[in-house]
Structure 1
Amino acid sequence: MKPAPLHRRLRLPLIVLTCAGALAGPAALAQSPLNPAASSSSLDAPLFYQLLLGELNVRGGDPGAGYSLFLEAAQQQKNPELYRRAVEVALQSRQVDAALAAARAWARDIPSDADASRFTLLALLSLGRVSETAAPLRAVLMATPADDRNGGIAAIPQMYARVNDKAQVLAATREALAPFLTQPAHAGAAWSTIGRLELDLDRPVAATDAARRGHAADPASPYPALLALELLERGQADAEPVVREHIDAARAKDPANTAISTAYARVLLDLGRLRDARVQLERLTTRAPQQPDPWLLLGMLQVRDNALPAANVSLDTYLQLVRDANDERTRRALTQAYLLKAEIAEKQQDYVAANAWIDRIDNPEEIMAAQMRRASVLARQGRLDEARALLRSQPERRPDDARLKLISEAQLLREFKAWREAYQVYGEAVQRFPQDTELLYEQAMMGDKAGQPADMERLLRQLIAIDPNHHHAYNALGYSLADRNERLPEAKQLIEKAVSMAPNDAYIQDSLGWVEFRLGNTERALGILREAYGKRPDPEIAAHLGEVLWVKGQHDDARRVWREGLALASDNETLKSTLKRLNVEP
């Protein structure tokens, strides 16, 4: 078959065809989106030929020549589509410097075109020239519609995520955001972005200051509150007022918007501040009873507190509110609700109802969680061996399933205080997964519970040898020595090592306070324990703080702290044993 003529075989790109169409005359040129400012006489046959030749060079393996032709045409015509094609050709041939040159010429010739700044920014980032990105970044933000601008500002940290020099990123971003820091509509987002970049530099105090500045500029802006929540999670208690004040401001502006309030409750739960979380959730369910998530979180807290009738009401409300939802997030949350309902039935010794709730779980990703609860129901009936067999019989569909099965069995044994058996199962897990430091840590903790302190110390030292930065291992080893009143100087040294790695960890501060108390430094111990308890109200910290107060003769304060600890967890072993040893009725 005779080959088709060239003009039939060649598929000209849209840009060439559009320019060709413009040759029809002045009227067509006036309507062309390519070059509204150029005169009609400038789009002639020579230009068409130049673009065609440029395209042929690109298709024929000489993108450099094609790029030059497109760039020359773009500069002659001041045409954004021609500039775009020049940039695209350069990028496709990995000539980023050439793409940058074209993008900068584009921005110079047509400064109102935001795409020129976007391509300039892209090229500079690709070249690692971060210090030069401030101007194009600011231009892109200026060209962004005002309603969308805060979202663009908030996305800046992600845009620079792969840049290693975080200080350079912060400097460029500060320069780019300078005009927005004083605009009430954008200051909240701008200061929050600066705060997140401060966090990338591990400067939480500066990040907290940025959150405060953004909040002061616009108390209703969610961006400073979200940053403050992240800071609060990292132990920056000074950031919490930003969250609280935002919630008050947002409630006045839009009572139905509960996103930050719900996120705040979740953070409080993660921090172990269960009473504060409960207060927040009760307010939420009263203020916005149509929002499902607070009901689920409140139900979870109520189950933990054995407030079972109230928990049933909360969970039933949640299930009613999400009955028509079918998204993946809700399906995962439904699993949690069903498991909580099963736990309530189990605690009420209604094992048939418990299994019926478990049977509702059909998410294959949650099968092990369902079987864990089913095993608990069996164990609650005195059938612990059957419960263990059930867990071991589960198929291993995913790579992590074997590990998950062993962890589930060990957790079941822990729940029923079968310490020695749990220690053995963790040992089996460590043998199977010898590089898993978390399993080794859990085995060490079970060694202590099983009355094997020498094994615990050996395992923790083994863990430290594998991972010298495992601060929990240093803390656990130091605390175990302090609690047994053994080798106290060494115990303090170990705990101080953990503090240096995780200075905001309340549990590690608790250990430091406890070893100071054992060393006889009562005043220092009291200050450290008060700070730890303020950060994270916890029954074990309450036990230690209460004992120091008791020894100092502050009996009323000690009893108050112990009562608070019992309200958090009435069955906490450390707290119960402390009260028994001191013969105190709180």
Structure 2
Amino acid sequence: MDYYGLMHHFFRVFPLLTLVSGMAFAQAPKPAQPASDAVPPAAPASAASAAETPRPSALTARLLYELLVGELSFQDGEANQGIALMLDAARRTHDSVLYKRAVEMAIQSRSGSMAMDAVRAWRQAEPRSPDANRLELQVMVALGRIAESDAPLRATLAALPTTDQEPFILAVPSLYTRAIDKAEAAQVVERGLADVLQNPALAPAAWTSIGRMRLATNDRTGALSAANLGQTANPKSEWPALLALQLMTGADEPNAEPLIKRYLRNATPKPEVRIGYARALVDAGRGKEAHEQLAELTRNQPDYPEGWLAQGALYAQERHDTEAETALKRYLELATQPSADERFDRSNGRNQARMTLAQIAERRGDYAAAESMLAKIDSPDEAINVQLRRATILARQGQLDEAVQLIRSVPVRTPEDARMKITAEAQLLRENKRPQQAYDLLQSELSKDPEDEDLLYDTAMAAEKLDRLDEMEQLIRKLIEIKPDAFNAYNALGYTFADRNLRLPEAKQLIEKAVELSPDDPFIQDSLGWVEFRLGNRAQALRILQAAFAKRPDAEIAAHLGEVLWTMGRKDEAIVVLRNGVRLNAENETLQETLQRLKINP
């Protein structure tokens, strides 16, 4: 027996075996669907028994032969013949499995017209089939026939069970993501969802999807209007509030926040909305308000794990380590209990909490506790991060060479892993007073790919540490040439000039370009405040630095703000700020240099 030949044919017809299996299930008896919502009369016992008798299978020898020929023709490159045979069999048997297979074959062969013919034949045979209608919609959108897709959108929605309608409506914007004409797609979706806008149960989701489609066209006013209409339809629905949150964070729409606040005043708002709002407040530099939102969440829903995780992460970011530890340990207590809701896979959250707890333990010098937390992280995706954290702990204990070897020994699964290892080793060397080794490592990697954007930036920063300013500037300007919107490059070069009191007008121009490209970045605002200080504009510098520090408490920003206050004669305020900087990161080089130069012991 030709075993290998037999196996070859088996794998060629394997799709057919799957198809036949699907047909077997498809031939099971189906209860008749009532023509209206009225409950049908109970069937007599004899009728019920008859209904339970399986019908004869439609899979005859002739049909099996045709399906086999169709599959083999398709696999042998005769796609049109294979699709035609499959579609003909579907029409004769009225079998949805065969219709679906014909559509799949047409899609795989990149035959848009045949895919459209097959899916329309299926929908005409089964006009109330959710699968047929949904697939017609998907094929039509994929073919770019956006203007015609409102009818199948309405038909798909009408064919779905009531429980599936809201999830489908919310998924509509993702279906049109690749549409070239976003405005046309937005209009089509509005037409397709028009019938449900008067339904209080579905209107909030429909207006939310309409709003997201409008937002894709940069129509913030229209998106905000949709969010308002959705909330008016049902103030207790979370969907318009989530759209408002998207407007607040992604589109910087200030008028969206009142919708979020109105929703949160409901008796039982979804905790995800409150957490999202807290994160938006943090990004806006409103940390106190973010804490208030998270405190209310953990108070009202103390058994909701993610509330404690968000609270712990915020405390840890602010270096309030005791409070962070309490919140994160509470999260782990709750997150390790079985969840009745299968949507929640909390493994990532547990790993995040343990990683943060390890960093907190590391900061206080309890390396055994840090290692204990790291040992509990068993995700392959986190393996490299765990080892890098361990390397940092070794370096803190004076074992830098061992730390470097540990980084180099980490297995690499992807090119991103390899890049992460290089970056981590260079950072470790810089932080531990070995800037030349860091530079040599990065320069060696850059020579292999001279236009790599990340390596250009990292090598430039290493050159700056060695006071090789001409080389640093050359690398940064090359990066800007390759990537004109590299805000970090403009900021780095501008700050380097400002920090050394060099070419200050040019430094300000570079930093202002970085602000233009990334207006909400507190570290770029810090650079802007610092160059204003160097230029002698102390009042302007103070205003900018105070806003930056409020938005992101950071030791380096504290150093700059403290120095500005000190030189303005506001020494008590300066000491308070600098003391906060020490609490945030006592080892920060800029902070330490500032304290020594000003002879301050906060």
TM-score range, shorter chain: 0.7 to 0.9
Query: What letter is aligned with 2:327?
Result: S
Residue number in structure 2 paired with 1:331: 347
Q: 1:341 to 1:107 in 2, by over 3 A?
A: closer
Three-state SS of the structure 1 residue aligned to 2:193 is helix
Matched position secondary structure for 1:184: coil
What secondary structure does 1:468 align onto?
coil
Residues 295 and 253 of structure 1, relative CA distance in 2, 3 Å threshold:
closer
- Classify the secondary structure of the residue corresponding to 2:365: coil
Query: Which sections of structure 1, spanning at least 5 residues, go unmatched?
Result: 1-10, 22-27, 37-47, 75-79
* Residue 142 (structure 1) aligned with residue 158 (structure 2): yes
Deviation of 1:489 after TM superposition, in Å, equals 4.0
Residue in 2 aligned with 1:24? Answer: none
Equivalent position amino acid for 2:348 in 1 = R
Deviation (angstroms), 1:585? 10
Q: Does 1:261 align with 2:284?
A: no
Partner of 1:195: 211
1:448 aligns with 2:464: yes
Contact 2:285–2:551 (8 Å) recurs in 1: no
1:193-234 Cα shifts (integer Å, max 9, x gaps): 233223433445544444344334433322233333334443
Q: Does residue 225 of structure 1 match 2:248?
A: no
Give the partner amino acid of 2:329: D
Residue 302 of structure 1 and its aligned partner are, at CA, apart by: 3.7
Residue pairs, 1:266-305, within 5 angstroms: 266-268=279-281, 274-305=287-318
Partner of 1:375: 391
Q: Determine whether 1:478 maps to 2:491.
A: no
TM-score, normalising length: structure 2: 0.71
Say whether 1:403 aligns with 2:419: yes
Distance 1:65 1:133 in 2: 25
Q: CA deviation at 1:459?
A: 1.9
Task: Check whether the contact 2:183–2:217 (CA below 8 A) recurs between aligned residues.
Answer: yes
Q: Deviations over 1:136-161 (max 9, x none)?
A: 21232234344432211111121122
Shift of the 554–429 alpha-carbon distance from structure 1 to 2, 3 Å rule, reads: same
- In structure 2, the residue matched to 1:315 is 328
Deviations 1:140-196 (A, max 9, x none): 223434443221111112112232222221121122223444543333222322332
Query: Relative to structure 1, is the Cα distance of residues 70 and 465 closer, same or farther in structure 2, using a 3 angstrom cutoff?
Result: same
For residue 347 of structure 1, what is the aligned residue in structure 2?
363
Residues 298/127 of structure 1: CA separation in 2 closer, same or farther (3 Å cut):
closer
Question: What is the letter of the counterpart of residue 175 of structure 1?
Answer: R
Q: What code does the residue aligned with 1:312 have?
A: E
Residue aligning to 2:262 = 245
Q: Equivalents in 2 of 1:272, 1:564: separation in Å?
A: 20
- SS across alignment from 1:253: coil
Where does 1:55-204 land on structure 2 (aligned, <5 Å)?
Answer: 81=94, 92=105, 96-97=112-113, 100=116, 117-118=133-134, 120-204=136-220
Cα distance between partner residues in 1 of 2:180 and 2:413: 38
1:464 matched to 2:477: no
- Counterpart Cα distance in 1 of 2:99 and 2:321: 68
Deviations 1:357-379 (A, max 9, x none): 33333333323322223223323
**Residue-by-residue CA offset, 1:342-370 (whole Å, 9 max, x unaligned):** 33433343333333333333333323322
Residue 478 of structure 2: SS of its match in structure 1? helix
Q: Offset of 1:130 from its aligned partner?
A: 0.4
**1:12-59 Cα deviation digits (max 9, x unpaired):** 999999xx99xxxxxx9x9988999xxxxxxxxxxx9xxx99x96995
- Distance of 2:137 and 2:512 partners within structure 1: 46
Aligned to 1:4: none
Instruction: Note the C-alpha offset of 1:446.
Output: 3.9
Aligned counterparts of 1:16 and 1:306: Cα–Cα separation in 2: 61
Contact 1:237 1:535 (8 Å CA) reproduced: no
Q: 1:425 to 1:212 in 2, by over 3 A?
A: farther
The amino acid that maps onto 1:407 is T
**Aligned length in residues:** 544
Taking structure 1 as reference, are residues 453 and 151 closer, same or farther at Cα in structure 2, changes over 3 Å only?
A: same
Q: Distance in 2 between the 1:322 and 1:107 partners?
A: 45
Structure 1 550/214 Cα, relative in aligned 2: closer, same or farther at 3 Å?
farther
Deviations 1:283-317 (A, max 9, x none): 33222222223323433444454544434333332
Amino acid at match of 1:468: P
Residues 442 and 458 in structure 2, CA contact (< 8 A), matched pair in contact too: yes
User: Is the CA contact 1:157–1:193 (under 8 Å) kept in the aligned structure 2?
Assistant: yes
Whichever residue aligns with residue 284 of structure 1, its letter is L
CA distance in structure 2 between the aligned counterparts of 1:392 and 1:471, rounded to whole angstroms: 31
Encode CA deviations 1:511-544: one digit per residue, 9 max, x unaligned. Answer: 4565566567788778877876776666666776
Task: Give the % identical residues.
Answer: 41
Distance in 2 between residues matched to 1:565 and 1:456, nearest whole Å: 32
Task: Say if 2:371 is the partner of 1:358.
Answer: no
Q: 1:124 to 1:522 in 2, by over 3 A?
A: same
RMSD over aligned CA atoms reads 5.1
Q: Tell me if the contact between 1:271 and 1:536 (Cα under 8 Å) persists in the aligned partners.
A: no
Shift in Å, 1:496:
4.3
1:227–1:381 CA distance, 2 compared to 1 (3 A): same
User: Which amino acid counterpart does residue 273 of structure 2 have in structure 1?
Assistant: I
Between 136-145 and 91-100, the greater mean CA deviation after superposition: 91-100
* Partner SS for 2:327: helix
Retained in 1: the 8 A contact 2:94–2:125? no
Whole-angstrom CA distance in 2 between matches of 1:466 and 1:459? 11
Name which of structure 1's ranges 61-70 and 507-516 shifts more when overlaid on structure 2: 61-70
State how far apart, in whole Å, the 1-side matches of 2:287 and 2:432 are: 24
Closer/same/farther in 2, CA of residues 408 and 169 from structure 1, 3 Å limit: same
Query: Structure 1 residues 430, 116: CA separation in 2 closer, same or farther (over 3 Å shift)?
Result: closer
Aligned to 1:569: 584
Q: For residue 169 of structure 2, give the secondary structure of its aligned residue in structure 1.
A: helix
| Local SS of the residue matching 1:569 | helix
Deviation at 1:381, TM superposition (A): 2.5
Distance change in 2, residues 1:248/1:431 (3 Å): farther
Q: Distance in 1 between matches of 2:313 and 2:103?
A: 57
Shift of 1:450: 4.5
Q: CA 1:427–1:15 in 2, change beyond 3 Å: closer, same or farther?
A: closer
What is the rounded CA distance, in whole Å, between the counterparts of 2:298 and 2:584 in structure 1? 24
Provide the TM-score with structure 1 as the length reference. 0.73
Tell me the residue number matched to 1:45: none
C-alpha distance 284-548 of structure 1, shift in aligned 2 (>3 A): same
Instruction: State the partner residue of 2:230.
Output: 214
Contact residue 540 and residue 565 of structure 1 kept, 8 A: no
**Structure 1 526/126 Cα, relative in aligned 2: closer, same or farther at 3 Å?**
same
